[in-house]
Amino acid sequence: MLTLLKLLKDGRFHSGEALGAALGVSRSAVWKQLQHLEAELNLPIHKVRGKGYQLASPLVFLNAENIALNAPSLEWPIHISDSIDSTNTEGLRLANSGCPAPFLVLAEQQTAGRGRRGRKWVSPYAQNVYYSLILRIESGLSQLEGLSLVVGLAVMRALRESGVQGAALKWPNDVLVGQKKIAGILLELVGDPADICHVVIGIGINVNMRKADEVDQQWTSVQLETGSPVDRNALVAKLSMQLQAYLERHKTNGFVSLQEEWEQNHAWQGRSVSLIAGVNQIDGVVLGVDHQGALRLSVNGVEKIYSGGELSLRLRDDS
C-alpha cells in the first residue's frame, strides 16, 4: 500500500493501468489498495474516468537528508519510521537497546500516539509532525527543571518562523493559537533521575491536518492558520534548530534565564483560570511561573505554587 502511495505522492493523475504495471498487480488489485489507502490513512483520492487516480493534495515525505540541508548545524542522528506505535515509545526502545543519545525519532504515522493525562494523540499519516528527541541526563534532576516549558518556547518560535504569528504558550506545555491547540509536548523519563537517566521529549505539531473528527478539544494546524500546505521537513529543521539553541541555554543558565521570556509569551498571563487536579478545582489568577517552571496563582489574594504532570488549566468565563 505504501508503494502505491509513493507512486501517487506527486499529486498528478496516474492511470490504473500504469499503477498496476508499476506494482505488478491487476487494475482491480490497484482499486482495492486505493480503497484501503483512503480508509486506513484517511487520504482523499480523486478518481476521474479516463484520467485515473490522483491524491487530493500532493505529499512530501519526511526525509533525513532534506532536514539536514535545512538545519546544517544539527548534531542529532535522525530515525524515521513510516508507521510506529509512538515515537516516544520507539525512542525509549532504542535508548534501552543501547542507541547513544541524543537522537531524534520521527514518524509519518503513530498508531498509539499518546498525549498528557492518558489522552490519545491523533496521528494521521503524512500530515503532521510526530517528533521525539531522546537526551541523556547526567547531572541530576536540576537539568529537568522547567525543561518542558523551555521546549514549549522552542516549538512556539519554530511555529512563528513558519508563519503562525499568533502561536503562544499555555502552562505547562501546550502551544495555542487563540483558544485552539496547535502543538502538544509530552516528556517521559526512564532510569534513575538522581543518577543517569534518559528523557524523551515528545512533540506533536498539527501541520497539514484540516479535518480530524476524533480530536476531542479545540484544535488548529499550521496549514489552517497560514492558508497553505507546509513542508514538514523544513518545519522539523526549524524546530530542531530552535530546540538545540534553547536546550543549550537551559543547560548552561537554567530555567531562571528563560522565565521572563516564557511569561511574556504565556497566552493566559494575568487571566482568571481554574486549575484542575483530578476532581479538584482551584480558581485563581495567573501570576506567572517560578524558577522551576511551576505555576504561580493568586488564590483569594494569596500566592500559591502548583506543579505536576496531571494538572491542567482552563480559562474562567469572567477572565
Note the residues at the interface with ligand BTN (CB under 6 A). Answer: 86-88, 110, 113-116, 119, 121, 130-132, 174, 184-186, 202-204
Q: Kindly name the residue from 32, 210, 314, 316 that is annotated as catalytic.
A: 314
- C-alpha 162/C-alpha 183 separation (Å) is 13
Residue 32 bears catalytic tag? no
Is 52 or 91 the residue whose CB approaches ligand BTN more closely? Answer: 91
Is 132 or 259 the residue whose CB approaches ligand BTN more closely? Answer: 132
Query: Is residue 294 within 8 Å of 305, Cβ to Cβ?
Result: yes
Is 54 or 148 the residue whose CB approaches ligand BTN more closely? Answer: 148
| Shortest Å distance, C-beta 242 to ligand BTN | 16
| Shortest Å distance, C-beta 37 to ligand BTN | 23
With vertex at residue 94, the alpha carbon angle to CA 90 and CA 99, rounded to the nearest 5 degrees, is: 150
Return all residues near 94 (Cβ < 8 A) that are at least 6 apart: 79, 103, 105, 134
- C-alpha 252/C-alpha 134 separation (Å) is 19
Residue 116 bears catalytic tag? yes
Is 34 or 177 the residue whose CB approaches ligand BTN more closely? Answer: 177
Q: What is the dihedral of CA 133, 201, 189, 192, to 10 degrees?
A: 50
With vertex at residue 109, the alpha carbon angle to CA 221 and CA 99, rounded to the nearest 5 degrees, is: 115
Is 132 or 221 the residue whose CB approaches ligand BTN more closely? Answer: 132
Residue for cell digits 543518577?
A: 195
- C-alpha 312/C-alpha 319 separation (Å) is 17
Q: Kindly name the residue from 116, 157, 232, 238 that is annotated as catalytic.
A: 116
Q: Kindly name the residue from 114, 157, 170, 181 that is annotated as catalytic.
A: 181
Query: Is residue 48 within 8 Å of 13, Cβ to Cβ?
Result: yes
| Shortest Å distance, C-beta 282 to ligand BTN | 21
| Shortest Å distance, C-beta 196 to ligand BTN | 23
Residue for cell digits 515515537?
A: 87
Residue 314 bears catalytic tag? yes
| Shortest Å distance, C-beta 197 to ligand BTN | 18
List the catalytic residues.
116, 181, 314
